[in-house]
A = this chain, B = another copy of it.
Amino acid sequence: MKSCIATLTRFVVLVFVVLAVVPAVEAADRDKLLSEPGVYGTFASYSLDENWGKQDQAVRIAQLTVLKGVVEQHREKLAIDVYLLRGLSDHADLLFRVHAIELRETQQFLLDLQGSLFGKHLTGSTIFSGLTKKPNYVPGMPDNIKAELKVSSDPGPKPYVIVIPIRKDADWWSLSQEQRGAMMQEHTEASLPYSKTVKRKLYHSTGLDDLDFITYFETSRLEDFQSLILALEKVKEFRHNRRFGHPTLLGTVKSLDEIIEVLAQ
């Protein structure tokens, strides 16, 4: 019985949403935004207010259609990903990751999102941004490590997402380039055994918020992810983290349609 209603809801949601997005928009060059240096990545997480769940399902579906419309409208310039944190993280319910060439474009998207009928139910936002950069190989980095780093992680779904913000201590920045490089090589070597099952991405956020780095992880094997973090905690570089997490965001990777389905129920 319950699953019948779920199926019906799913159908209704999809119909509404499809109808709402008739004028197809040209998508940003998502691949480029997600792989090139010089791109701003913004992580914006929100909780749903207490009124969200008290509304009729029809009202919620209408508002989710607006959400879909706002996202589609900005896909021309931005790469937008959504994640479900509720149930795994007490920090927020939803996480948006937005990649843009100009942070102003991201601001416009989040303004439109927060100003929409759906956005009126979003509270307690947390926003931090960082910049992607070319990997800065240490001069003496052995070629085999460089080669391994270029191997991408195994294909296939990686349902779990983890975001860990990092702030280094003042000692870190006062080290010489060589000293930092040597520590980063040790860090990199420690992470190699997990490069196939844990996908990583790094954002430089110094000055843009109260962080130095945003580290982003996707995996289907949380145990491997935990082993990776334990390995990283054992290298010298880890001692220079003044803040590691706080918050650590743990959630699941979802398509926008999946998020809409979850929130419609």
Contact = CB atoms under 8 A, between A and B. Distances in A.
Interface in A206-245: 206-210, 222-223, 225-226, 228-230, 233-234, 236, 238-239, 241, 245
Interface stretch (A11-19, A110-118, A142-150): A110-118
Given A53-B120, A233-B170, A90 B125 contact: yes
Interface string A180-210: 0000000000000000000000001011111
Given A104-B252, A248-B207, A126 B230 contact: no
Contacts of A108: 87
Contact of A208 (B54, B206, B226): B226
Contact of A252 (B86, B107, B230, B234): B107
B239 A170 contact: yes
A111 B131 contact: no
A250 interface: yes
Nearest to A91: B127
Nearest to A47: B125
Q: Which of A103, A162, A247 gathers the greatest number of chain B CB atoms within 10 Å?
A: A103
A245 to B, nearest CB: 4
Q: What are the 7 closest A-B residue pairs judged by CB atoms, nearest first?
A: A207-B229, A87-B110, A87-B107, A173-B233, A210-B245, A90-B127, A170-B239
A136 interface: no
A213 to B, nearest CB: 12
Interface in A39-79: 40, 42, 44, 49-50, 53-54
